[in-house]
Amino acid sequence: MDKILVVGAGSWGTAFADYLGRTLGPVRIWVREEEVLRSIREKKENQRFLAGFPLSPNLVAVDNLETEAANADILVYAVPSKFSRDVFERLRPVIDHQVIVNLSKGFEASSLMTLSQLARHVLGDRIISQWVTISGPSFARELAQHHPTAVVAVSYIDTLLEKIQRSFSSPELRIYRNTDLAGIEVAASMKNVMAIASGIVHGSGYGYNTTASLITRATVEISRLGRRLGGRKETFWGLAGIGDLMLTCFGPLSRNFQLGVQVASGRNLKEIEAGMVMIAEGVETTRAAYNLAKHLEIEMPITEKVYEVLFQNKNPRSALQELMQRRLKPE
């Protein structure tokens, strides 16, 4: 069997590593935090990021990224976008034959690059022939509870895509194939922005009418950006598009949704983030998407209002009212 190293021990990285350990056998996971390393080694549980779930005995926690990556065949990448440049730089000297299966979502706020674009920038163009992204409606805790889950794997290399689909699929996790990397990366990233918006709607006391309206218009906004960046229209109606969007906008397990709820209650963004155990990717993605829309001259009103609420102290209810009072037009 290929030697697998999961890079990143947040909730999703840990849940996916545990899943691979249960279904494929020995898996190693690189852990940055000393307390998490000890927790997995001594308790067989990630008490910080995935508390309450005993981990597979096949899962081994390690702390030497470069050595472990050099000895692996597959790197399952689960590091937040804001830390990815630094991690890619560390991996650059040891990347050779390894396949990278990316689980992370988002844009790098400073460069406006997606994860695959950032990887090409740091690791070189050849990395795209070794790159697979997996996305779709998948809460970490529910995968850890063995709930049936369907996701999509995307790559430009058909043989690689089929290998990962065949190796990683099981009765618990069904993986579909897709070749629209640009579309899936945009959909996967932007759903977190819309989850913050949905949390703001919920935290403001509004109900399903408002949320359904928001999500429907969010699909238009996401596909508008995605198609401009080279994505295909049908991608946004698939698992990584509407599937993941519905999960994060209706699901209270979403960190981004919960951040939006707290923002609506009047709490300061810095205070909210300081109190969160895990990173809400939608914050950095909102900043990047707002700037990207301005640069490309694309109309993205929901993203714009989330940006104003998060970074310009706009009142959440005022932002919602401004969306409702925009110029009337055909659907």
pLDDT tens for the chain, 331 residues long, are 699 999 999 999 999 999 999 999 999 999 999 999 999 999 999 999 999 999 999 999 999 999 999 999 999 999 999 999 999 999 999 999 999 999 999 999 899 999 999 999 999 999 999 999 999 999 999 999 999 999 999 999 999 999 999 999 999 999 999 999 999 999 999 999 999 999 999 999 999 999 999 999 999 999 999 999 999 999 999 999 999 999 999 978 899 999 999 999 999 898 898 888 778 889 999 999 999 999 999 999 999 999 999 999 999 999 999 999 999 999 9
Q: What are phi and psi of 139, to 5 degrees?
A: -80, 140
Tokens of residue 197, six digits = 């918006």
pLDDT value of residue 280: 85
**CATH ID of 189-324, from 3.30.420.40, 3.20.20.140, 2.30.30.90, 1.10.1040.10:** 1.10.1040.10
Q: Which sign, positive or negative, has the C-alpha torsion 101, 186, 128, 125?
A: negative
Q: Do the Cβ atoms of 159 and 129 come closer than 8 Å?
A: no
Q: For residues 61 and 204, is the Cβ–Cβ distance under 8 A?
A: no
CB atoms closer than 10 angstroms to residue 317: 14
Residues 6+ apart with CB under 8 A from 32: 8, 9, 63
Share in percent of the chain as helix, strand, coil (round to 5): 55, 10, 30
pLDDT at 1: 64
Please give the Cα distance from 204 to 214 (Å, whole number): 14
Please state the domain extents for the chain: 4-179, 189-324
Please, are residues 316 and 259 in contact by the beta-carbon 8 Å criterion? no
Q: Which of 258, 320, 266 is nearest to 283 (CA)?
A: 258
pTM over 0.85: yes
CATH number of 4-179: 3.40.50.720
> Closest Cα partner for 303 from 246, 220, 227?
220
pLDDT of residue 252: 85
Angle at 244 between CA 12 and CA 51, to 5 degrees: 25
Specify the amino acid at residue 140.
Answer: A
The set of catalytic residues is 191
